[in-house]
Amino acid sequence: IAGITQAPTSQILAAGRRMTLRCTQDMRHNAMYWYRQDLGLGLRLIHYSNTAGTTGKGEVPDGYSVSRANTDDFPLTLASAVPSQTSVYFCASSDTSGRPGELFFGEGSRLTVL
Amino acid sequence: GQNIDQPTEMTATEGAIVQINCTYQTSGFNGLFWYQQHAGEAPTFLSYNVLDGLEEKGRFSSFLSRSKGYSYLLLKELQMKDSASYLCAVVDSNYQLIWGAGTKLIIKP
């Protein structure tokens, strides 16, 4: 089934540890995004990539990094996790030749930093 | 700054009709989306409005007034499975998505 796959689905992490959330899509969408979702705050954009080889900062990029080596993969790395990074992380993609803003989301990665 | 307002929570009865409002102030406008998100799941696309007026899709309709910076999502013949959060999002002049915090809809039998 075509779509976006995120891993892990859930993780508990000690503060200070490094963590990479994986995201893979098989829809050949050129744009990909990482959001975090916290209760009462809605979705906040962390980083995005409009095409392979390029990345950009979103609303809340501090403490996170991304890479886009190819079309399908867009990993998100927390270099040194802190408790405020406890959240649900969603990866999404879009076909920029379609409706702007129509996103396809992965199932999310629930991260707890202790 | 850019802002999207929608009610935090609404309650409705199975079989009834509910209207979820969304008002926005953004730098430019290139479309408005409604997404549905069930608890513990990913958001999924519901509707898209770029011109003024009503878009109908089965039990769900979405309305847009660009001059008023206003949209609503209308859900008819409510079913228990409609219990979810409904997210309003606007595409601004830079083609960035601006998200509201979402409206949690509770359906009671």
pLDDT digits (tens, 9 = 90+) for B82-95: 999 999 999 999 88
Angle at alpha carbon of residue B100, lines to A86 and B87, rounded to 5°: 90
* CB within 8 Å of chain B, chain A residues 26-45: 40-45
Cβ distance of B31 and A40 shorter than 8 Å: no
Per-residue pLDDT tens digits for A46-77? 999 999 999 999 999 999 999 999 999 999 99
Residue A3 contacts residue A27 (beta carbons within 8 Å): yes
Cβ distance of B33 and A102 shorter than 8 Å: yes
Could you please report the per-residue DSSP string of A78-107?
Answer: ESS--GGG-EEEEEEEE-TTS-TT--EE--
Cβ distance of A42 and B33 shorter than 8 Å: no
Q: Where are the beta strands (DSSP E) in B26-65?
A: 32-37, 44-49, 53-57, 60-65
pLDDT at A42: 85
As a whole number of angstroms, the distance between CA A37 and CA B47 comes to 21
B30 in A contact zone (CB under 8 Å): yes
Averaged pLDDT, B12-17: 97
A98 in B contact zone (CB under 8 Å): no
pLDDT(A29) > 70: yes
pLDDT at A84: 97
Quote the minimal CA–CA distance from B26 to chain A in Å.
15
pLDDT(B1) > 80: no
pLDDT at A2: 67
As a whole number of angstroms, the distance between CA A85 and CA A41 comes to 14
B48 in A contact zone (CB under 8 Å): yes
